[in-house]
Structure 1
């Protein structure tokens, strides 16, 4: 074993003898003559490959020590010594005497997602209406009595975005309660009509197994409503019970008729506002003609002219307000007519399908 391997004693001593006056940053500074016998004894039991690995490690440690000595000679603070590959690009920030003080924006409070009591994928408890809708929201509780099989659940899909926008993947999940009654709660904007339908889905895949029979259910949310309880049936028969908070129980059909009556009253108000705006416009034109005639005939003084100009300005402001009211009335009338046409077409289709 000793005859096969011979450590390079001569090279080491010759190098150390040639570099007696060299700095401490020698390639192998720790292989001094005093420690060399220990190295011979330790390396005698190693292979040639292991010794080459030890040389590499020794070279790396010597480079680290040399870097540390250079830093101490420059009277710099102690820093973490990088590897030999990154010595040429030693970061200057590591030589700072004190760590940087973190700014107030470096540490932010953790904002976790609010977890709902629902175990489903979508939150079915007290959804808030879209921020783009300025109407106040009304809490609507849906109730459906239906007996399902194992692995099945029920969802509500409809025209409102919180009902999925007729997309079953984003539909509202219902929860099973006693006596096979499925319930769900949602917030809908007031003075609005919503169409919806119940769907029997697989609890795992959320795929549709069966759709509620009949045409789409229509729920009209009144302006004065604060909370509604809707009790439907899977057969989707007429006369579904709808009760308001502190009010008398009614049906979806009567709610729709009441909403249509409100739309008629809004239409009358819009028509009256349009007539009033037209009358004010005529009055304003007559006032302007009168002012022009008086100026031409009498040559009014500055004070009287100022008074007439203020009157004209007041009439113009009133005209602007009436125009705004007229535009609002026209918009409400247009929406009312569109909703009425849509509902009439759906009723006609339902009658044709029934026949």
Structure 2
């Protein structure tokens, strides 16, 4: 059982298990000892959606309990500070009859808070006590100072972490820049290699084409030369098989027969002329 601080001994709260905040929330139990007239009630209004965002009509209604103690339970996100006030409203119309005097009350919730009991006073004087998760009671001012100190330390740690993250980011960006440059160099080398490969392939195709042309020309020359040789051989064979002219003889013939034989016999160089006139031998010199 949570026991209220001195001055509020009449307040007895029922035992309850600490609320497990979902998504960083805490269940805050507000208690205010205040006597109202008949037909009046209390409402809590503050700087959060659960407290109406300072809209009186959307504020959180409090419940009256024995000893003129008004209580309310509100789930609030942790890790921040809230301002709030209590308001006396007309039960029928909901109009404000009186606002809590003094400055706005301040409630600081740490990130690890799950269940918080706040014991307030209508005058809003300093010293209102707060109990978080059954720990030692603190005044609202002590809690705010503790929260501010923790938040400052957390911010220092976050700034250091941010600085380290920025340094790591700069290093990563430099590595990425070097990687991009290396990639560009590799692409350039690859492009050069591809261009050289294409040029070599082009030269190879040109060489193959030239080789085919030269081979065809060589085959043609060989064929022509072979034909010429065959023709020359035939002519030589024909010359070697011709009958030789017989010498003139007083007994064998007359001078007229000798002249006819001389005209029929091949003269010097006649076989060369015949050979050069053969197909394919026009470009050759016969020795």
The two structures have a TM-score, normalised by structure 2, of: 0.53
Q: Which has the larger radius of gyration?
A: 2
In 1, Cα distance between equivalents of 2:142 and 2:95: 34
In 2, Cα distance between equivalents of 1:279 and 1:271: 12
In 2, Cα distance between equivalents of 1:288 and 1:172: 55
Which of 221, 230, 235 is residue 123 of structure 2 equivalent to? 235
Quote the offset at 1:273 in angstroms.
2.1
Corresponding residue SS for 1:149: coil
Greater than 2 Å deviation, 4+ residue runs? 133-136, 281-299
In 1, Cα distance between equivalents of 2:49 and 2:64: 23
User: What residue in structure 2 maps to residue 256 of structure 1?
Assistant: 144
* 2:49 is the alignment partner of 1:161: yes
The answer as to whether partners of 1:198 and 1:211 remain within 8 angstroms in 2 is: yes
User: What residue in structure 2 maps to residue 212 of structure 1?
Assistant: 100
Which of 114, 117, 128 is residue 226 of structure 1 equivalent to? 114
Higher relative contact order (CA 8 A, sep 6+): 2
Name the Cα RMSD after superposition: 2.9
Which of 133, 143, 146 is residue 31 of structure 2 equivalent to? 143
Quote the offset at 1:166 in angstroms.
1.0
Say if 1:189 and 1:288 are closer, same or farther in 2 by CA, change over 3 A.
closer
Quote the offset at 1:182 in angstroms.
0.8
The alignment covers a number of residue pairs equal to 170
Corresponding residue SS for 2:67: helix
Say if 1:260 and 1:287 are closer, same or farther in 2 by CA, change over 3 A.
same
The answer as to whether partners of 1:135 and 1:191 remain within 8 angstroms in 2 is: no
User: What residue in structure 2 maps to residue 324 of structure 1?
Assistant: none
Quote the offset at 1:246 in angstroms.
2.2
Quote the offset at 1:278 in angstroms.
2.9
Unaligned stretches of 5+ residues in structure 1: 1-127, 303-355
The two structures have a TM-score, normalised by structure 1, of: 0.43
